[in-house]
Structure 1
């Protein structure tokens, strides 16, 4: 197991380096100058050059990349071009909301997906067909459309939750939980459909294994076989794709944040891209990439514990 952790950590370092290089390069290949975006309509060639000099944009790109990477290693992600606030502080303020939303979406995806997948596998006939149709719909629904429908029905028409509902967990846990319900469902419904299909396929294969016949002949109840033995084996392939599911949720969270007015990092990155606030874009992407890599490491270790065949010899 130690070899597995070391090998994954060895891969994480070049992954972060590549992400940092690509993001830094892409931001400075975007047409237009951040100085012009800051100055607005009153920008003149002379004022643009002055602001670029103040921001250090007149320095060679490679020199800026080295300085930014060194400062990032020391926890300094730079200063926002627009707000002049430290990027690290801005992300620390926004990341809790994004992580809350992503984890909430993941909980919805796993709970609904595994539950429906198991039910579909053990209840052939009408339940299986209904769940199959529901998962097809879930995979095709855009998050922004489903989120707006949830808002219109449960917030505007029924008034069960406020329209703008995010409250930090540390301020009011109950209000935070109420505010997380609709966004988490909107974010996690597509992933739930995907996990349901994966779980169903894995469960059908597990229930067709010879050990199930042996357990049945030994008098073990069907419920015990499904929940204790078949489900455990079926979770191995499902767990292997959890990292991919988390990345998908992270990537689509900014859409849900826009709809539900979530003060998250995804919304911050979107406004920063539009405003050419490159330090915020670079810092946000590298932090999210580090979180995804750390989660993948955790999943790989968990997968290695469940399936010894993937451990390095």
Structure 2
């Protein structure tokens, strides 16, 4: 297992370097100057040149790239153009909200997706068709529309949850949990449909395997056969596809944050792109890439635990 972790970490480093290079290059190609966005309508050629010089925007591309990479390796993501605050502090302020939302959505998707998939595989017929219909509906409903409906019904009309969803966990854990219920459901429902379909197919295939008949013939209880053997083997392809599900959740979380007024990374990135605050954009994308790669590493380790054949020899 140590070889698997070392192998994945070795692949992660060039991936992060490539993502950072791509984002830096794309921000370099964005038309317009960050200095013009900072100064606004009162900008003059002299003031634009002065601000660009202060920000280092008049330096060659290669020099700026090397300087940014060198600082990033030490954990310094630079200063925001708009308010001169450290980018790392801005990200640290917004990241917990996004992690709460993505974590809640992933939990909802995993629990309800696996549950529905297992039920559909164990009960072919009306229940299987009903689950298939529910998952088709879940895949068709956009997250932002579903979030608006949930908010209107359960927050505005019924008053079961607060309209303003997010409260920091360190301030009030109970309010944090209550406020994250609807956003997590809105974000996780389409992902739960994907997990349910994947689980249903993998579980049905596992239940048709010859070893299942052999275990049943020797008197192993049905519950043990399903949970310990069939479900364990069915989780291998489900776990392998969870990385894709996570990337979808992170992308969709930026939209759900807007619906529920959650001050997360999505709002920070949106304002930074509009205001041409490139250090914030570069730092936020790098942190998101680290998050995705880290979760994929955990999933790869879990995949290796379930299936020894994928471990490097």
* TM bucket normalised to smaller: over 0.9
Other structure's SS at 1:268 match:
helix
Deviation at 1:2?
2.1
- Per-residue CA deviations over 1:193-245 (Å, capped at 9, x if unaligned) read 00000000000000001111112112223222212211111001111111111
In the other structure, the counterpart of 1:216 is: 216
Matched, 1:32 2:32: yes
Calculate the TM-score normalised by the size of structure 1: 0.98
Taking the aligned partners of 1:31 and 1:112, their CA distance within structure 2 comes to 45
In the other structure, the counterpart of 1:143 is: 143
Deviation at 1:45?
2.5
- Per-residue CA deviations over 1:168-204 (Å, capped at 9, x if unaligned) read 1111111100011000011111110000000000000
Other structure's SS at 1:241 match:
helix
In the other structure, the counterpart of 1:295 is: 295
- Tell me, yes or no, if the aligned pair for 2:24 and 2:65 is still in contact at 8 Å: yes
Runs of 4+ in 1 over 4 A off after TM superposition: none
- Tell me, yes or no, if the aligned pair for 1:254 and 1:270 is still in contact at 8 Å: no
Calculate the TM-score normalised by the size of structure 2: 0.98
How many matched pairs?
Answer: 313
- Tell me, yes or no, if the aligned pair for 1:80 and 1:280 is still in contact at 8 Å: yes
Where do residues 76-155 of structure 1 align in structure 2 (5 Å cutoff)? 76-155=76-155
- Tell me, yes or no, if the aligned pair for 2:116 and 2:131 is still in contact at 8 Å: yes
Taking the aligned partners of 1:39 and 1:204, their CA distance within structure 2 comes to 62
Taking the aligned partners of 2:69 and 2:122, their CA distance within structure 1 comes to 53
Taking the aligned partners of 2:141 and 2:178, their CA distance within structure 1 comes to 23
Matched, 1:59 2:81: no
- Tell me, yes or no, if the aligned pair for 1:108 and 1:188 is still in contact at 8 Å: yes
- Per-residue CA deviations over 1:76-120 (Å, capped at 9, x if unaligned) read 100001111100011111111111111100000001100000011
Taking the aligned partners of 2:210 and 2:90, their CA distance within structure 1 comes to 56
Deviation at 1:311?
1.0
Taking the aligned partners of 1:215 and 1:2, their CA distance within structure 2 comes to 33
CA RMSD in angstroms, aligned pairs only: 1.0
The runs of 5 or more residues in structure 1 that have no matched partner are none
